[in-house]
Each structure stands twice: as C-alpha cells, then as structure tokens.
Amino acid sequence: MERRASHPSSPKWPGGDARRFIALELPSPLPPAYNPSFLDLALTEGSVKRIKAIYPGSFDPPTNGHLDLIERGSKIFDELVVAILRNPEKNPLFSVADRRKMLEAMTSGFDNVSVDTFDGLTVDYALRVEARAILRGIRAISDYEYELQMALMNRKLQPGLETVFMMPAEKYSYLSSRLVREVAQLGGSIECLVPDLVEQKLREKIDVAHKFANRQPSAGKSKLKKKKL
C-alpha cells in the first residue's frame, strides 16, 4: 500500500479548513541600520541650541556667595554673563570699572563665563545679548517675595525669557554685599566672606575713607582760626 507524505498539521482557524495553508508575503530585506553621527545630525537638523543666561546684580562688592552661584550656574548653562547694573541713583562703594575688574579676576577660571555692564531694563539687556534665562539667587523668604515680583514682571515684559532661582550654599545663606560693607567699615573680619582680592580692595577703600574723614575736622578748625585772625 502506497503511503502518502504526511504534512504538518495546520492550525484550525475559525471558519477555515485544517488543511488550508496561508501564504505569507514577507517584506523585502531591510537596509542595514544607519546611526548618524552627532555632526551629521547637526548638519541635517540645524545648529545645536545653546542656552545662554545672565546673572545681573550690583556686586558692590562681589562676595563668595556671588562666586558660589556663578560656579554652579556655569555648570547648568552653556554660557553665563555676569552683568553689572549701572545705577546712577545709588552711591556705590566701588566704581563699575573696579567691580568689573574684580569679577573678571574671580571668574578667570571659567571658560563659559564673561563679565559685562548694562543699564536700563534687565529684559532689554537679555534680548541684546540673546540670553534665554536670568539667574537669580534667593537667600531667604524676604528675597523670594521681591524676586517673585521681579520675575513675574519680567515674564510680562518678555514671555520668552525664563527666570531660574538658585539657593546659595548653606554657609553663604546670610551673606550680602551690604552686610560685608558694614562689617568691613566697622573693623570686623570679612575673611572667608569675600575672595582675597576683594578683601584687599575693600580694606584699601575703607582705609582711604577713614583717613579722609579724619582729616576733615582738622581742616575745618584751621579755617576757623584763620577767620578769627
């Protein structure tokens, strides 16, 4: 008796015959995978966006708290501009030129940090330098209330500009330029509060002010004596 070649059993599909085979159409072989390099992506999808931020302030004088924020901000942003505000209404201890020199010396070790000066609205300056964010430090609740108002106003004036708040290191949470000036003027130690360069400049400035103040009474007395004669 002749035996027929057995065929593998076909699954029973609903409404179908167990002996019916289903022909599958396979797609053509896929081309080898291509992983474009970073340079190819940059050329095909446009230039890579870099995030530039400004860190505005008076910096009179620059402190270790400022330097702490600058160092940490340089790790977040591709480019950080320390922007010194020129405010004619204030009577600063250091001139804008002196503050710029001190900040440039303090930030010389950061490749992506630069120092600049500006006046007028912060948002206008940010647009001029093509910055996309404003870096601000917050030490306490009182700072937050003020900075929140400024951030909301800046967003109203320029919706595309973001404000990034950063907390200082714990050891600098109480530190401010005003406090440093007051302590130095009263003869207190400002060691570890400001960089060595700033401490030296601050002592020189205060010594000159004290000498000038001590000379004024004697000069006034001599004028009175001359008048009496």
The pLDDT score that the predictor gives to residue 16 is 52
- Phi, psi (5° rounding) for residue 39? -65, -40
Q: Name the active-site residue from 90, 178, 210, 215.
A: 90
The larger pLDDT score, comparing residue 83 to residue 90, is at 83
The CATH number given to 52-175 is: 3.40.50.620
State how far the Cα of 63 lies from the Cα of 102, in Å rounded to an integer.
Answer: 10
pLDDT-derived band at 105 (thresholds 50, 70, 90) equals very high
Q: Name the active-site residue from 66, 100, 136, 201.
A: 66
pTM for the complete prediction? 0.71
Whether 114 sits among the annotated catalytic residues: the reply is no
State how far the Cα of 112 lies from the Cα of 128, in Å rounded to an integer.
Answer: 18
pLDDT in tens, 194-208: 999 999 999 898 876
Residue 125 in this model has a pLDDT that exceeds 80: yes
Whether 90 sits among the annotated catalytic residues: the reply is yes
The larger pLDDT score, comparing residue 75 to residue 38, is at 75
pLDDT-derived band at 217 (thresholds 50, 70, 90) equals low
Domain ranges in the chain are 52-175
Residue 68 in this model has a pLDDT that exceeds 50: yes
Whether 181 sits among the annotated catalytic residues: the reply is no
pLDDT in tens, 15-67: 555 444 444 454 555 555 545 454 454 444 455 568 999 999 999 999 999 99
Question: Residues 90-97: what's their mean pLDDT?
Answer: 91
The pLDDT score that the predictor gives to residue 67 is 97
Q: Name the active-site residue from 52, 72, 132, 139.
A: 139
Which of 11-20, 77-86, 203-212 has the largest mean confidence?
A: 77-86
Q: Name the active-site residue from 99, 136, 177, 181.
A: 177
The pLDDT score that the predictor gives to residue 143 is 87
The pLDDT score that the predictor gives to residue 162 is 96
Whether 210 sits among the annotated catalytic residues: the reply is no
The pLDDT score that the predictor gives to residue 198 is 95
Instruction: Give kind and range of the element (H or E) at residue 228.
Output: helix 196-228
3-state SS assignment for residue 60: coil
- Give the Cβ contact number of residue 217 at 10 Å: 9
Instruction: Give kind and range of the element (H or E) at residue 212.
Output: helix 196-228
Helix H segments across 31-176? 38-45, 64-76, 96-106, 122-128, 141-157
State how far the Cα of 119 lies from the Cα of 204, in Å rounded to an integer.
Answer: 28
